[in-house]
Structure 1
Amino acid sequence: MFSLNLIKTFPISVLLAILPAGPLSATDYYVATSGNNQNPGTQNQPFRTVARGINAARQPGDTVLIRAGIYPQSRTLNLANPGTEGRFITLKAFENEEVIIDGSNLPEDATLIAVLAHHIRIQGLTVRNSQKIGISIWGPGTRVHAVEVSGNRVHHCQNSGIYAGFNRLSDPVRDLLIADNIISECSLMNEGGRFSQWSFGAGAGLSRNVTLRNNTVSQCYGEGIGLYLSNKGTIEGNTVHDNFSVNIYLDNTTNTRVSRNLVYSTEDQRFYRFNHPASGIQIANENYPGFNNPSSDNTIVGNILVNNFHAIYSGSYQRGGGLKRTLIAHNTACGSTGSLLHIDADRGHDQSHIVNNIFQQTGNAPLTDANGAVDQIDFDHNLWFGGTPQQVVLGTGDIRANPQWKNPGGYQIEDYDLHPLSPAKNRGIRVNELSSFYPDQSASSTVNLGAR
């Protein structure tokens, strides 16, 4: 055993060698179209290619800052070096400069940017012309988690704009944030009726704790935003319009909240299926051999749905299963080419609630199309206008009157503010006790119907 005095006589260099090493300092690496890959990657001597910058960013906390310009890619950009909690590896545009990552020269069926590790951020880029997915987040949750993709513009991708997933429910990709992105004109492989496979503008499969927040997703030849075989997701504050078949889709998805989204069709018939626009929000269970995660315990609250095919759709096709412990509350549905509320016949409905919604039909389509037994769905305090709802959907506290919105049929959230004298004012019931996802309303003595 060393004595204290003996240790004090060691040279400083030896003492430093004994002490545990601290974390390496994070480094900013720069990329510019005027750079050179033989440079050190500093701001004054940047790299030339994005791939070189990504390869240099190997330590947690490192950032690749890309200067303005167009960066054509002939190979997938793989982010495979992980960060750590609080020390993400980041790929981003420099100070709001326009950075375009272009995949026109990629091989057929190649993704443009692939996240293959944890604690990664991608921010402020324009990602275009991918031959497959624009930004892919793929892998087991043990390896791929804590990924943030925010503030990007993704367009003209053959497959999804932004997609996360894996192939095992036992280790799903997890803990992801996809926020404030603009995604458009993706799933181009299906353009013109060439349906090779379904894909999302933005979404995830075999995932857990994925949040899609404040994105705008439009004009994609597949579903707009979606989750399948997923658990504990959040889809909130998005604007989703003019996508193909379904704008927001929960497929074999559980414990997920869909809230405060603006979902609509502008009657752009390029994105019609069977001569109809996409449905607004749809829940179903398709067949995935070897996987089992039937939709249940989902919350659909505070959404505004305008001019869709069906505003809210429960489908029993393929596996079926019905609405299980599902809360559909405080939504505003205005106009549709089909019914505003469509429920397929299914014996699987269980402990579900459709309450405090406003349904106003503006054309000749019916208000509701509920099929089969719906006695396991509680309908209560809904407003119906513009037609006659079926007897089976009527409940205590229902209202049959014009809701008096500011501008029904418009495509802005404020169009659905209630007039001060609206019959929907102060006519709802508290529903927080029906779902753990719904906020506590105990502080308020009055509850309005609808989303506004």
Structure 2
Amino acid sequence: MRLSTGRHRRTRTLSIAAAVAVSAGAGGVYLGLSNGGAQAAATTVTVSSTAQLESAVARAAAGTVIQVRAGTYYPTATLKSAADGTGSNRITLRAYGSEKVKIDGSKLPDGSWLAGIYGDHWTVQNLTFQNSPAQGFVATSSVGGVFKNLVTANNGDSGFTLRGDGTSDNLVQNLDSHGNYDPAGHGQNADGIAVKFGSGTGNRITGARLYNNSDDGLDLWQFSSPVTIDHAWAFGNGKNRWGDSAFEGNGNGFKLGGGGATVAHVVNNNAAWGNTLHGFTENSNTGAMALHRNTAYANAEAGFYFATGKARLARNLAVGNKGGLSKVGSRTVCAANNWDSGVSAPGFKSTDAATAYGARKADGSLPATTFLTTGSTAIGSPMN
């Protein structure tokens, strides 16, 4: 749906009491387009109950701002919307001020996503999506989304997902996604963030921490357009923390393709450590990916596994990976990595990861740490 918002807008701010009107059965305020479809309401709605939240999301239109008061909310059906905002009249779902909000899927039917956005120009920020029986948060064929300062934790499939054709120009910034595990698949599907089964340019993931997930930290399986990933950390993925006797989680830090896609992803200034497979892997993607100043440390297999593709690896650092520093094929171009001739590995200031789990900075960016930092501006991740 691509509807114009028209020339005339009206702004209303609803108090919590007035917002009761958007709850089921209240019969009150409709947060949508006018009957003619050419005029959008610019409306701020403050919600404080699960029913209000469900209704506000379902009725959102261009210009709607949904502010969620502190607390834990338990939807009984997937929070979803196919409404479109515009570049100048976005739809926003966010916590109220600096309040802490958790949206919990433990009361959803089996197999349900916790949240699903099918529209364009949404901003979703400062919220936690947890305990879903399936995916935590999914944006499908979305354009121009901004998904910022989110937590997706302990869900029954991937924590955060972008998917579908036409998935373009989305920004995922400062995501924490951890503890996601799919019992039905014995852990083989639940990634920290999945950009899968689709296409669309201009998508960027930055400032993410993707850790302790049953499958991979990041997975780009069958996404046929380039994705940019920078200043992200993936660690501790693929370990069986759930006592699953048939566990099948993979455990790559950054899985950069697969399923026949040939794509030139851009991967800069990231770090992968303590994963049960590779730190960074092409996963059969033969595209000319570019990896610059990434660090792979203490992964159970290779730090960098690029056996068949045309990837370009420059100024990357691999230390202490049990499967070797790197496994690269003849078509991979390598320059100034620490496994290349004449290049030495600078020492780390710290190999204690405790501070990497710490609180984020006030703006939501990654915590300050000396872990895996070297002081070098020439090689390896700067860890910020």
| Coarse TM-score class (shorter-chain normalised) | 0.7 to 0.9
Matched, 1:279 2:288: no
Picking from 322, 334, 338, the partner of 1:354 is 334
For 1:159, the equivalent position in structure 2 comes to 157
Q: How far apart in 1 are the matches of 2:6 and 2:186? A: 56
Q: How far apart in 2 are the matches of 1:27 and 1:62? A: 10
For 1:295, the equivalent position in structure 2 comes to 286
Matched, 1:250 2:256: yes
SS in 2 for 1:358: coil
Is the CA contact 2:58–2:79 (under 8 Å) kept in the aligned structure 1?
Answer: no
Is the CA contact 2:45–2:64 (under 8 Å) kept in the aligned structure 1?
Answer: no
Picking from 166, 172, 179, the partner of 1:178 is 172
For 1:53, the equivalent position in structure 2 comes to 56
Residues 29-83 of structure 1: CA distance to partner in whole angstroms, max 9, x if unpaired? 5668x9563365977897752112123422x221001111111111011122110
For 1:336, the equivalent position in structure 2 comes to 321
Residues 216-261 of structure 1: CA distance to partner in whole angstroms, max 9, x if unpaired? 1111111111212331211111121111121101113512111111
Q: How far apart in 1 are the matches of 2:272 and 2:171? A: 20
Is the CA contact 1:203–1:226 (under 8 Å) kept in the aligned structure 2?
Answer: yes
Q: How far apart in 2 are the matches of 1:99 and 1:61? A: 22
Distance 1:44 1:403, change over 3 A: closer
Distance 1:148 1:189, change over 3 A: farther
Q: Could you list the runs of 5+ residues in structure 1 that have no partner in the other structure?
A: 1-19, 266-271, 286-293, 316-321, 360-381, 383-394, 420-424, 426-446
SS in 2 for 1:50: helix
CA drift at 1:451: 4.2
For 2:148, the equivalent position in structure 1 comes to 150
Q: What one-letter code is carried by the residue in structure 2 that aligns with 1:50? A: L
Matched, 1:220 2:213: yes
For 1:323, the equivalent position in structure 2 comes to 309
**TM-score when normalising by structure 2:** 0.76
Picking from 361, 365, 370, the partner of 1:414 is 370
CA drift at 1:174: 1.9
Distance 1:30 1:76, change over 3 A: farther
Q: How far apart in 2 are the matches of 1:122 and 1:224? A: 21
Q: How far apart in 1 are the matches of 2:16 and 2:237? A: 35
Q: What one-letter code is carried by the residue in structure 1 that aligns with 2:254? A: I
Aligned residues: 327
Distance 1:30 1:335, change over 3 A: farther
Distance 1:96 1:410, change over 3 A: closer
Residues 380-433 of structure 1: CA distance to partner in whole angstroms, max 9, x if unpaired? xx3xxxxxxxxxxxx4xx14x5634433576766344447xxxxx7xxxxxxxx
CA drift at 1:207: 2.7
Residues 118-145 of structure 1: CA distance to partner in whole angstroms, max 9, x if unpaired? 1111111111111111111123xxxx21
Question: Radius of gyration: which is bigger?
Answer: 1
Is the CA contact 1:31–1:49 (under 8 Å) kept in the aligned structure 2?
Answer: no
Matched, 1:63 2:65: yes
For 2:378, the equivalent position in structure 1 comes to 448
For 2:189, the equivalent position in structure 1 comes to 198
Picking from 290, 298, 302, the partner of 1:307 is 298
For 1:135, the equivalent position in structure 2 comes to 137
Q: How far apart in 2 are the matches of 1:43 and 1:62? A: 8
For 2:199, the equivalent position in structure 1 comes to 207
Q: How far apart in 2 are the matches of 1:109 and 1:71? A: 19
For 2:363, the equivalent position in structure 1 comes to none
Q: How far apart in 1 are the matches of 2:327 and 2:186? A: 25
Picking from 265, 269, 284, the partner of 1:260 is 269
Is the CA contact 2:148–2:173 (under 8 Å) kept in the aligned structure 1?
Answer: yes
Distance 1:125 1:28, change over 3 A: farther
Is the CA contact 1:240–1:247 (under 8 Å) kept in the aligned structure 2?
Answer: yes
SS in 2 for 1:308: coil
CA drift at 1:356: 1.2
CA drift at 1:262: 2.0
CA drift at 1:195: 2.9
Root mean square deviation, CA, Å: 2.9
Q: How far apart in 2 are the matches of 1:220 and 1:46? A: 31
Q: How far apart in 1 are the matches of 2:337 and 2:139? A: 36
Q: What one-letter code is carried by the residue in structure 1 that aligns with 2:69? A: R
For 1:374, the equivalent position in structure 2 comes to none
**TM-score when normalising by structure 1:** 0.66
Q: How far apart in 2 are the matches of 1:333 and 1:148? A: 32
Q: How far apart in 1 are the matches of 2:46 and 2:298? A: 53
SS in 2 for 1:54: helix
Matched, 1:233 2:227: yes
